[in-house]
Amino acid sequence: MNAHELRNGNWLHSELTNKDFQVNPDDIRSIWLGYDRGMVKPIPLTEEWLLKFGFRTRTTTGHSVQYFIGFNPITHDWLFDILWLNGDSVPFYKNVFHKINYVHQLQNLYFALTWEELKLKHD
């Protein structure tokens, strides 16, 4: 896990407590300095996480599932969407075929494109 990939509020997993948590600046500093001793890991992106963030699904032509969120007032469709091909281990952002392996990568890409934080829907 590279600390330079992280932003305040990214979700990670602690192997020490076996719980997911949102990082703060002190956590990022600890990871940067190696104080976490490798006990902090990225969370693999799953459908469960996409649904927790409020993504909706649409099956496309039988070979993939599209996950989308938000509304784009210009194009009158969704604001952000990713595609998960059947048989592939991770989804990708289809505008540039950027594979998204981890929850924090999804959070960072979403923020970079929308200037808004991706939040859990129960918050």
* Pair of tokens at residue 86: 């059947």
**CA 56, CA 46: separation in Å to the nearest integer?**
13
Q: What is the pLDDT of residues 47-106, one digit of tens each?
A: 999 999 999 998 777 778 888 888 777 877 777 888 887 777 777 677 777 789 999 999
Query: β-strands 56-60, 64-69: how paired?
Result: antiparallel
| 116: Cα separation from own chain's centroid | 13
Q: What is the pTM of this model?
A: 0.86
- The length of the chain is 123
